[in-house]
């Protein structure tokens, strides 16, 4: 008896934004206000291509969704953003915030969030995903 395999497509888009933040309770220099050019990588996946275009979702649509979310974070003091007035604006929490926002925008599209990665520098990043 052979098992039929099903395929999954995974798409990735990358962009960045600039913002300042202060890490509460850090007990180091990052507790003072400082800024980053945050890199953001969004990964989505799905098992069915759109019949007409034979694409999972247009990259342009994904980039537009991501840029809409990041426009609210770009060039702001993240501690003053409603998502981070109580929660620390760490890379981990920024990644979770972006993930949740993208997940809402993808609802009903047949495409699901896989992960969001936020980097403060090329050599360090935080990834949020749900299982």
- Which of helix, strand or coil describes residue 101? helix
Decide if 77 is catalytic: no
DSSP state of 2: P
Active-site annotation holder among 31, 34, 68, 75: 75
Active-site annotation holder among 30, 68, 80, 130: 30
The structure tokens 């996946």 sit at 45
DSSP state of 28: S
What are 2's two structure tokens?
Answer: 């052979």
Decide if 120 is catalytic: yes
CB 115 within 8 A of CB 125: no
CB 95 within 8 A of CB 78: no
CB 44 within 8 A of CB 11: yes
Decide if 27 is catalytic: no
CA–CA dist 124, 22 (Å, integer): 18
User: Catalytic residues, which ones?
Assistant: 30, 75, 120
């Amino acid at each position: 008896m052979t098992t039929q395999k099903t395929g999954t497509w995974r798409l990735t888009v990358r962009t960045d934004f600039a913002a300042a933040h202060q890490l509460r309770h850090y007990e180091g220099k990052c507790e003072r206000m400082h800024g980053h050019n945050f890199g953001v990588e969004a990964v989505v996946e799905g098992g069915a291509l759109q019949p007409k275009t034979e694409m999972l979702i247009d990259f342009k649509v994904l980039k537009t969704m991501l840029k809409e979310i990041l426009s609210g974070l770009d060039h702001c003091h993240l501690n003053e953003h409603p998502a981070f007035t109580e929660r620390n604006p760490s890379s981990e929490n920024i990644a979770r915030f972006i993930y949740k926002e993208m997940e809402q925008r993808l609802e009903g599209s047949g495409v699901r969030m896989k992960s969001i990665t936020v980097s403060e520098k090329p050599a360090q990043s935080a990834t949020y995903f749900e299982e």
